[in-house]
């Protein structure tokens, strides 16, 4: 999860673009409900009745959140609207949507109290995340920082031997400064940020790293990479015997140590410090109970050979991605990271999550489809300028889940929650 220094500097510059360090720092500080009241909680009573449902719709309405499509009252979607999203279209899968919140976030991009939409069929999931959101919001909210962003494509060029591979690499390196112009012919938003190189003999892998505006960007970087690869090859005195647009080194659609190390997509860190009394009140456990379990979980995670160690980011991300028109296949790569719990000197609970691989976008992909657009608008993440904000909300939601599941296990009522909330389908 290491960023080179030039990236670290870019981050600092971007953060400071909109104000002084002091001002930006102030925005990231916790804000206690005592000082700034929270909006109302979600009426969960009479959970599975029409009245319960309508009570939640009323809350959304009061909050100015459109939900016609979600509620099944919106206009029909004509097949033509799906061009670019699907082929052999036959209709729609309908996935239940619930909400959690308010989740207070004090982020570099996401600022405010959010009702977060989650699409899932796993009972107890939303109840658990909602509890986590409550704990975090009571503690003043989640500090969240989108640190870096990049999407990569890694073409591979095959030569007869390493000498030719190096010769071609020299050619490429000498033309680095000219590539952006070629890229710009394929997209207005695609920017080449860095090039990494891997030679393993006669094969040369180039890892082009781009920013892609507010789009998830996988297609954008494919087209850009194709354009520059073709032009580089055309001009080079030494030609590859074969070349491929992707050498399986970019980490696309899979969990990789490379993404965990370098970051891919958006890298977000989120943290909160939760006073002992709030842990006691809402989790029914002591901070040190959670810290102790976390340590055991870290030892377990290491033994399992996971990439990073965390509890269940996948639950948050799958539910958010499906709700918000993201590419759900990217859960495979995004659901890695590092959760950290610690006891502060005062005996409070410190917790952070680091997600190095959030491939998300607020334009393009499925974001324009009716229910997905409503979900994105619910968290003010529809359209340009909001992708980093959305990434911070992803991380804050993942943090809510970590607090809740570790709290539930530490307090010994994890199995019970699943027995009461999650069993209907799988009852036996």
Among 107, 117, 132, 287, binds a second copy (CB under 8 A): 117
Residue (of 276, 272, 278) closest to 340 by Cα position: 272
> How many residues sit in the footprint of a second copy (CB under 8 A)?
201
Among 107, 217, 265, 275, binds a second copy (CB under 8 A): 217
Around Cβ 334, how many Cβ atoms within 10 Å? Answer: 32
Considering the rule CB under 8 A, would residue 274 count as an interface residue with a second copy? no
User: Least Å distance between CB 36 and a second copy?
Assistant: 18
Residue (of 316, 291, 303) closest to 410 by Cα position: 291
Tokens of 118: 């989650």
User: Least Å distance between CB 403 and a second copy?
Assistant: 14
Considering the rule CB under 8 A, would residue 19 count as an interface residue with a second copy? no
| Site map 277..316 versus a second copy, x via CB under 8 A | ---------------xx-xxxxxxxxxxxxxxxxxxxxx-
Among 168, 205, 282, 382, binds a second copy (CB under 8 A): 205
Among 111, 138, 143, 150, binds a second copy (CB under 8 A): 143
Residue (of 250, 216, 218, 254) closest to 336 by Cα position: 254
Among 32, 53, 63, 182, binds a second copy (CB under 8 A): 53
Select the span of 31-39, 181-189, 278-286, 388-396 touching a second copy (CB under 8 A).
181-189
**Cα distance between residue 160 and residue 62, in whole Å:** 67
Give bridge partners of residue 114 from the DSSP assignment.
103
User: Least Å distance between CB 284 and a second copy?
Assistant: 15
Query: 36-42 long-range contacts, Cβ below 8 Å, gap at least 24?
Result: 38/102, 38/104, 38/113, 38/137, 39/63, 39/102, 39/113, 40/102, 41/101, 41/102, 41/134, 42/99, 42/100, 42/101, 42/115, 42/130
Per the CB < 8 A criterion, the answer to whether 205 and 197 are in contact is: yes
User: Least Å distance between CB 110 and a second copy?
Assistant: 15
Around Cβ 31, how many Cβ atoms within 10 Å? Answer: 17
Considering the rule CB under 8 A, would residue 325 count as an interface residue with a second copy? yes
Q: Kind of pairing, strands 242-244 and 156-158?
A: antiparallel
**Cα distance between residue 28 and residue 33, in whole Å:** 15
Residues with catalytic function: 122, 327, 418
User: Least Å distance between CB 52 and a second copy?
Assistant: 7
Q: Which is nearer to a second copy, 275 or 366 (CB)?
A: 366
**Cα distance between residue 406 and residue 350, in whole Å:** 13
- Residue whose entry in the numeric block shows the structure tokens 């959690």: 100
**Cα distance between residue 5 and residue 269, in whole Å:** 17
Which residues inside 376-405 make contact with a second copy, applying CB under 8 A? none
Considering the rule CB under 8 A, would residue 17 count as an interface residue with a second copy? no
Among 18, 23, 36, 47, binds a second copy (CB under 8 A): 47
User: Least Å distance between CB 245 and a second copy?
Assistant: 5
Which residues inside 244-273 make contact with a second copy, applying CB under 8 A? 244-262, 269, 271, 273
Among 111, 130, 138, 150, binds a second copy (CB under 8 A): 130
Which residues inside 65-104 make contact with a second copy, applying CB under 8 A? 67, 69-72, 76-80, 82-100
């Amino acid at each position: 999860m290491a960023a080179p220094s030039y990236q670290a500097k870019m981050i600092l510059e971007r953060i400071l673009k909109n104000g002084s360090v002091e001002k930006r720092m102030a925005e990231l500080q916790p804000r206690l409900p005592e000082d700034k009241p929270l909006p109302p909680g979600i009426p969960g009573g009479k959970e599975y009745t029409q009245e319960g449902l309508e009570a939640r719709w009323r809350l959304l309405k009061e909050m100015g959140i459109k939900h016609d499509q979600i509620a099944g009252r919106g206009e029909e979607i004509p097949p033509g609207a799906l061009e670019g999203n699907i082929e052999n279209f036959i209709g729609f899968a309908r996935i239940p949507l619930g909400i959690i919140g308010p989740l207070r976030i004090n982020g570099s991009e996401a600022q405010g109290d959010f009702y977060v939409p989650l699409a899932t069929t796993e009972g107890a999931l939303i109840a658990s995340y909602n509890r986590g959101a409550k704990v975090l919001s009571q503690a003043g909210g989640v500090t969240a920082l989108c640190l870096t962003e990049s999407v990569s494509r890694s073409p591979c060029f095959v030569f007869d031997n390493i000498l030719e591979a190096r010769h071609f690499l020299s050619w490429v390196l000498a033309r680095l400064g000219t590539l952006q112009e070629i890229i710009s012919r394929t997209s207005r938003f695609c920017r080449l940020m860095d090039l990494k190189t891997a030679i393993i003999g006669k094969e040369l892998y180039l890892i082009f790293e781009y920013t892609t505006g507010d789009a998830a960007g996988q297609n954008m970087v494919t087209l850009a990479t194709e354009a520059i690869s073709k032009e580089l090859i055309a001009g080079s005195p030494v030609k590859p015997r074969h070349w491929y647009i992707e050498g399986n080194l970019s980490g696309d659609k899979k969990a990789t140590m490379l993404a965990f190390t370098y970051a891919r997509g958006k890298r977000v860190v989120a943290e909160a410090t939760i006073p002992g009394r709030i842990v006691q009140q809402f989790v029914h456990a002591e901070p040190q109970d959670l810290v102790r379990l976390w340590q055991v979980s870290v030892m377990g995670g290491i033994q399992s050979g996971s990439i990073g160690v965390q509890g269940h980011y996948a639950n948050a991300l799958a539910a958010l991605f499906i709700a918000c028109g993201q590419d759900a296949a990217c859960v495979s790569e995004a659901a890695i990271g590092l959760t950290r719990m610690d006891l502060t000197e005062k005996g409070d609970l410190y917790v952070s999550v680091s997600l190095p691989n959030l491939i998300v976008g607020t334009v393009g992909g499925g974001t324009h489809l009716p229910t997905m657009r409503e979900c994105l608008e619910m968290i003010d993440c529809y359209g340009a300028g909001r992708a980093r904000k959305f990434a911070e909300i992803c991380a804050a939601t993942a943090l809510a889940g970590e607090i809740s599941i570790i709290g539930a296990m530490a307090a010994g009522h994890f199995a019970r929650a699943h027995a009461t909330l999650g069993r209907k389908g799988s009852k036996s």
